[in-house]
Amino acid sequence: MTKPTNPYAHAYADFLRETAEHQLVVLHNEGLYRHLRIQKPGTRTWSWDITTWPGHLATSGDIADGYMFTRELDMIDFLSVSRRYRDYYSDGAPSIDVRYWAEKLCGGRSHEVKRYDADVFLQLVREHLAEHEEIGDEAQAFHERQLTLLKQLHELRGLDEAAQLELLKTHWVAEARVTHFDSSSHTTLARQRRDAAAAAVDRLWSADDLSDEQFDRLAKEHDWNGLAGIAIERESPAERAAAILDEARTYVGSEHEARQWLHENSETFGEDTWKWDLRNYDIHFLFTCYGIDLAVRLYREHQAQQAALPESTRLSSRVFGFLVRGFRALGRPRRRSSHPTTEAVQS
C-alpha cells in the first residue's frame, strides 16, 4: 500500500539531519515529574529539554523553546504516537496531528504557530483553477477531446496541416471580433460579426465531404453531438490557467498582496477568498512537534530498558541518582538572608 506524502517533508528532513546523533539524558524522573534532555553528546547545539508535571508538558532549549501543552494528567502518554502510525508517511515521518497538538498549547497560542506561506497561497490557487468550470481539468479534457475529433475529421476531409491551421485561424479571428464587440448590441455590424463567427464554426466542423460510412464511424468513435459545432479557444484552458498562476506568483510577497490579488480576481476565484487560510505551521513549531515525538520515543525505550534490569540494579540506580541530587544540593551556595541576624542586632 502506497504511503501518503508528508506535507512537512522538508521540515522533517532538516530535523532528521540535525538530530541523527542525539541521545536522551534523564535529569529527573519521578512519576509525572520529569526532566528530559535530548542532545548530541558534547554539545547543546540543537538540543532541547522536556519538562513534565501533572497535566503539563513544557519545551525549552536551543530549539523547541517556549511551548507549554496541557490536556491530560500524563502528557507523555497523551503526545505519544502509537506504533501503528510511527512511519505513516512515505518519508518515515510519524503521523502527528499538528493542528490538534497546536490546540493544546496553553494560553490560546494556537494562532501564533502559523505564518503566511506563499506555497499555501499558490496551492490554493492551483486547486481552485483545477476545479474551475471554464479553465479547470474537466474543461481541458473536453478541449483535448475536441481537438482529437477535429484532427481526425480534417484528415478524413483530406486537409493538410496548413489548411487545418487556416480554418482555425479564421475561426479565432471571427470569435475575437465578436468577443471585443458589445455582445448585447443589435447593430448591423454586430449582427454581421456574429454571423461571420457562426459561419467560421460551420466551416471548421463541416462534414459535407465525408461519406455516410466515414461519418458514422467518426460519430461512433467520438461524441460528435457533444463535441462538434462548438467554438474552440485559441488558448487551451490549461494555458489560460497557467497564465493566471504565473500572475499569482508575482503577488506572493506578503499575505496582504496575495489577498488583494485574489480580491481583484474575484470573477475567477469568487467572493469568499477572504475565508482562505493562507498560513501554514511555523518551522519552529514543527521542530517542536518532532522534538517531542523523539523525546517520547527515547523515553519509552529508556523505560523498557529499566524494566528489563534486575531489581537490585534499578534500586542501585535510584540510590545513585538520589545521592547525586543530594551532592548537587550541598554544593549550591546558601542564599544570604536579607534580615540581620540576632547577633548583629545585639551588637
Is 70 exceeded by the pLDDT of residue 249?
yes
More confident residue, 319 or 77: 77
Nearest to 116 by CA among 286, 271, 259, 328: 259
Confidence of residue 78 (pLDDT cuts 50, 70, 90): very high
Is 70 exceeded by the pLDDT of residue 131?
yes
Q: What percent of the chain has pLDDT over 90?
A: 77
Q: What is the pLDDT of residue 343?
A: 41
Q: Mean pLDDT across the stretch 256-267?
A: 97
Length of the chain counted residue by residue = 347
> CA-CA distances (angstroms) from residue 222 to 173, 216, 227?
27, 10, 8
What is the overall mean pLDDT for the chain? Answer: 89
Confidence of residue 157 (pLDDT cuts 50, 70, 90): very high
Q: What is the pLDDT of residue 130?
A: 97
Q: What percent of the chain has pLDDT over 70?
A: 88
Confidence of residue 190 (pLDDT cuts 50, 70, 90): confident
Which residues make Cβ contacts (< 8 Å) with residue 92, sequence separation at least 6? none
Spatial contact of 80 and 52, defined as CB atoms under 8 Å apart = no
Provide the whole-model pTM: 0.75
Is 90 exceeded by the pLDDT of residue 154?
yes
Confidence of residue 334 (pLDDT cuts 50, 70, 90): low
Confidence of residue 287 (pLDDT cuts 50, 70, 90): very high
Which residues make Cβ contacts (< 8 Å) with residue 253, sequence separation at least 6? 118
One-character DSSP codes across 101-122: HHHTBGGGGGGGGEEE-HHHHH
Q: Mean pLDDT across the stretch 104-120?
A: 90
